[in-house]
Chain A
Amino acid sequence: MNSFLTVLFILSVVSALIAIRIFKGPTAPDRVVGLDTLNTVVIASMILFGAYTKEVIYIDVGIVYALLSFIATLFIAKYLEGGEF
């Protein structure tokens, strides 16, 4: 369906805007916030691409990406906090 492709294009522009915040964020937590936002947009794009091609495997990749990016975010937050693991 063609509207899926249009929304995929909009989400790629949104990802480029979020990447600006990752590149020029003044502090380290700013970059982590940008990364966390970008992860969610990428998950939405994967689901949209799975619906566009009608293949379930891309949506499965999106599920795995959601869980792995959550773990990565928790590890970065724990590192910034400076506590013991």
Chain B
Amino acid sequence: MDWWDVAVMVFLSIGAFFNALAAVGLLRFPDVYTRLHAGTKCTTFGTIFVCLAVILFGVRLWIYESDAYSILTIHTFIALVCVLLTNPTGAHAIARAAHRSGVKPARAVIDELEKKEGK
């Protein structure tokens, strides 16, 4: 139990907490757009911290045990970049598709997109 293990555990607990928060948000929020807001943002943030924990773990193995663990660190970083690039784009596509397929926001005060698209 040294400082590397403590840092890995802190990052892992932050990641697990925010992923659990995404599930709570998905079950509690009233309509598609707020659920999308909770689900996408919380899981992306949680996955960033899970990946950072694995990167720290890999760097520790790389320094103290063997050079072969550098591949684990680099591939985790590539997976992190893929998640960071693809997740907000997918959420944007879902939100636009939901609005165009006629799902209205619950208790919306003003809907500027509907005025703009002229329906």
Contacts and interface: CB of A to CB of B under 8 A. Distances in A.
Interface string A13-53: 11001101100000111101110110011011001101100
B32 A10 contact: no
Nearest to A79: B97
Interface in B1-41: 5, 8-9, 12-13, 15-16, 19-20, 22-24, 26-27, 32, 35-36, 39-40
Interface residues of A, number: 47
A85 B22 CA distance: 32
B93 A21 contact: no
Interface string A50-68: 1100101001101100110
Given A37-B22, A37-B40, A1 B57 contact: yes
B94 A70 contact: no
Interface of B: 5, 8-9, 12-13, 15-16, 19-20, 22-24, 26-27, 32, 35-36, 39-40, 43-44, 46-47, 50-51, 53-54, 57-58, 61, 69, 71-72, 75-76, 78-79, 82-83, 86-87, 89-91, 93-94, 96-98, 100-101, 103
